[in-house]
Amino acid sequence: MPNAQQSASPSTSNSPLRPRLQRPLRIALFGFGTVGSSVARILAESKPRELELTHIFNRRVARKRVDWTPSSVLWSEDAEAVLASDADVIVELVGGLDPAGAWVRRALESGKSVVTANKKLIAYHGVNLERLAAAQGGHIKYGAAVAGGIPVIPGLEQGLAGDRIERIEGILNGTCNFILSKMQEGSEYGTVLAEAQTRGYAEADPTEDVCGFDARAKLAILMRLALRVQVDPDEIVPRSITAVAAVDFSYARDLGCTIRQVARAQQSNGDLAATVGPMLVDLRSPLAWSQGTENMVIVRGHYCGEVVFSGHGAGGHPTAVAVVSDLLALAHGSRRVEVSSAPAHLGTEFEVPHYIRFLVADRPGIVAAITGALASQQINIRAILQKPGYPANALPFVVTVEPCKTSALKRALAQVRGMDCMLVEPLDLQILE
């Protein structure tokens, strides 16, 4: 498994981050949750001479105060006062677009630098924030925004900068990967979600994760760095994992596959496609090996072929490692590699095989109706699978089809979903080959 290391390049002579031999870089931490407390813990235990934690901001900060940080640290619930302090770098770990976005802009406007793990902020406003940082003499680094502690972003910015990336696909959400890899063992979605929430892997409202919005934001960032295109994340329509059931894993095994939430994007001959959602993944694929909260990104370059980044992408400590690494890079005069990119729009669809699971009250003519609907869109059936042991009044069966566009398949399924024998909406999953 290749390792991507972030190398430091000297900043310009007028950079406020250059003269670091005189004193450590002063750090103000915004957010003292799972990641923020892990960042503080690393700084307190490792004591890097280049970094000094000077401020910790959090709402109702008294409930967050701990006794293991240096006594010199100023704890505050006044964001404006911390932004106006002598801190050199604001570490933003609150997340979301507001008020975090306003704090980041204020810091950059004042000439401070910013380190953040905020994937939504970078996905929607990263280009403008980088321009603001450059104009004011500061820097913004976000190595922790995608895949936590896995060095995907520095790997793309530097390790693979000499290649022409054609495709990127990966498991970018640890919550979904935990749920689906546990369902692979036979559990149903609701049971595993409750376990994920108990363990702290899933929020009380898991919508952002299970519906694909989190992975979508991360994919948009990777598309800018890998494919060199600026895409509005809202153009990428995510699909939820909530309709996937234990029976789908049983059928997937029969097909030599498992199911994972996959984010993928591809650029070919000027055509750009991107999608996020649960997909059937061949058991021989590295994506199938990712278990629990692990993340994985596979990048295919024109010259170097496939490069795989894998590891613990979620959690406080792995993400904090990426944050501290960004801070050390700044302390040593490093700046973000400027990756040129251009605005773009999604203009095509993936043409791949599909898995379609139906749940019906059995009666004659169902398969004929489905076959006719598929044929009307020039979609060829690959296989029909039906497991024994299910009652006729709630019978699951699966149809797999040859490569086709999702839009064509949607038109075909629209012709059959109104049949009175259909008990639930047919589940359509792409098959990643």
Hey, where are the domains in the chain?
A: 152-313, 351-432
CATH number given to 152-313: 3.30.360.10
Q: Which CATH architecture has domain 351-432?
A: 2-Layer Sandwich (3.30)
Residue 10 has what pLDDT? 38
Residue 412 has what pLDDT? 97
Q: Residues 112, 182, 218, 410: which is the catalytic one?
A: 218
Within 8 A by CB and 6+ apart from 43, the residues are: 27, 51, 53, 324
CA-based R_g, the chain, Å = 24
Closest CA to 232 of 268, 278, 272, 271: 272
pLDDT tens-digit readout, 111-146: 999 999 999 999 999 999 999 999 999 999 999 999
Phi (first) and psi of residue 263, to 5 degrees: -105, 130
Q: Which two tokens stand for residue 303?
A: 């010259």
Q: Are 152-313 and 351-432 equal in CATH topology?
A: no
Chain centroid to CA 290: 14
Averaged confidence pLDDT in the chain: 93
Residue 227 has what pLDDT? 97
Residue 3 has what pLDDT? 41
Residue 303 has what pLDDT? 97
Residue 336 has what pLDDT? 65
**Beta bridge partners of residue 52, listed in sequence order:** 26
pLDDT level of residue 100 (50, 70, 90 thresholds): very high
Phi (first) and psi of residue 348, to 5 degrees: -150, 175
What's at 59, amino acid-wise? R
Residue 99, preceding peptide bond in cis (omega within 30° of 0):
yes
Within 8 A by CB and 6+ apart from 432, the residues are: 169, 262, 264, 279, 280, 281, 282, 285, 287, 352
218 is annotated as an active-site residue: yes
